[in-house]
Amino acid sequence: MGALSPWQSVESFGLSNASPLVPKGCSIVQVHLVHRHGARYPTSDALPAVFAAKLHAAATGKGFSASGPFEFLNTWTYKLGAETLTPFGRSQLFNLGMGFRMKYGELLKGFSNLPVFRTTSEARMQDSALHFAAGFFGVQTYQMEYHQLITIEGEGFNNTLAPYFHCPNSNNPIGSVQASKWEEVYLQSAWKRLAPFIRGYHLTLKDLVAMQQLCAYETVALSSSLFCALFTEQEWKGYEYRDDIMLWYGNGPGSPSASAQGIGYVQEVLSRLKKIRITEFRNTVNSTVVTNNVTFPLDQPIYVDATHDTALTTIFTAFNFTSLAAGGPLQTDQIPRNQTYFANRVVPFASNLVGQVLSCPAFDKPEQIRWILNDAVLPLTGIRGCEKNDDGLCGLSTFIAAMEQRIGEVDFDFDCFANYTIPDPDEITDGQFPRRLRN
């Protein structure tokens, strides 16, 4: 189900023997969590809602009939809400908070003031943050145990948790364009098989995509869906790959503005790690937020930020987690054998990235850091100076220096605001417009 999949524990991103548990000989000092909201209903303008409206118009007219595998459409009605969390989605974030408390609750002893966690102003973001807090602190006391900063998500406001509002080139349709090419490949047999069973309705490939999305949305909202059985296992693999393509080119390593969008969050993480306040504002960082010790404290042992899947993929790209992009650009005519980028592994509903800052006295550099995505430790060998390590560890000072260099490498103004044409084929793998093609 691609990015509409429920959260799952990922086995490995290349370090098969690494565990999300703190390595022996080390102790946890600080933790940074950025997570996606829980399972939600589709947006009001998404394919499922559009399909439902078209189907209703046809079914209330003359000449409509559905038979065979489509027979259920004669009585099917659209029962989904719009954009807010489903009950299951609320439970996901409660469970995430509860699990996070079990793993890292001891760090609460290091707070001198109430913790400050961040989310954005969208309803599903606020609900996700509050359910996380209820799971983390407890239902009866959570409202008194921390402060919830709600950052404005909208045009005209810098926000590292919703960076696309301050990056016009994030609206480039390359993700959907590339995905449409693949739809022409993987859905042809499904269309030929299913089209004869519906009359009085012009069935399109986009309708079939909508049905696959309805399977996903109805499953996380209503527990099951009749749309799921319409497609073969191979067609479901095709749909998964469609989502991979959408994210890769739209907001991931193949997008020329992905690193620019995510680099503001990297800058904020460095500010927290170094305990030095940000003074230069050249990207999506909100100066009002980060220059205030109340809204952006620098002395917390635990940081928690809630965001969207498309923002997470830009953050992963900005951090330069190269193991995710190791398989290279995604083809639009077939699924590659060496694929390493999977939407359902990197940004399912309730996806979470955890940065562990560790004290490892036996190491040459006792201060270490590592990053864990959906329970799988990420290799950091793509980050300058970080050597191969079975536990995914990198010296904290080395990581900080590499991220400072990374911030300097990303040309936010060009990648977000310049008038350029994305190369075709798009061979971008680092989320930046190729410097060799710049005028």
Show the 3-state SS of the chain: CHHHCECCCCCCCCCCCCCCCCCCCCEEEEEEEEEECCCECCCCCCHHHHHHHHHHHHHCCCCCEECHHHHHHHCCCCCCCCCCECHHHHHHHHHHHHHHHHHHHHHHHHCCCCCEEEEECCHHHHHHHHHHHHHHHCCCCHHHHCEEEEECCCCCCCCCCCHHHHCHHHHCCHHHHHHHHHHHHHCHHHHHHHHHHEECCCCCHHHHHHHHHHHHHHHHHHCCCCCHHHCCHHHHHHHHHHHHHHHHHHHCCCCCCHHHHHHHHHHHHHHHHHCCCCCCCCCCCCHHHHCCCCCCCCCCCEEEEEECHHHHHHHHHHHCCHHHHCCCCCCCCCCCCCCCCCHHHHCCECCEEEEEEEECCCCCCCEEEEEEECCEECCCCCCCCCCCCCCCCEEHHHHHHHHHHHHHHCCHHHHHHCCCCCCCCCCCCCCCCCHHHCC
Which of the following CATH numbers is that of domain 1-385+402-420+427-439: 3.20.20.10, 3.40.50.1240, 1.20.58.340, 3.40.190.10?
3.40.50.1240
pLDDT value of position 292: 98
pLDDT for res 439:
75
In this prediction, residue 127 carries a pLDDT of: 98
Boundaries of every domain in the chain: 1-385+402-420+427-439
Question: What's the pLDDT score for residue 425?
Answer: 85
- Residue of 35, 37, 166, 308 with catalytic role: 37
**207 tagged catalytic:** no
The residue from 127, 243, 305, 309 that is catalytic is 309
pTM (predicted TM-score) = 0.97
Which residue ranges in the chain fall short of pLDDT 70? none
Look at residue 204 in the predicted model and tell me its pLDDT. 98
Active-site residue flag, 309: yes
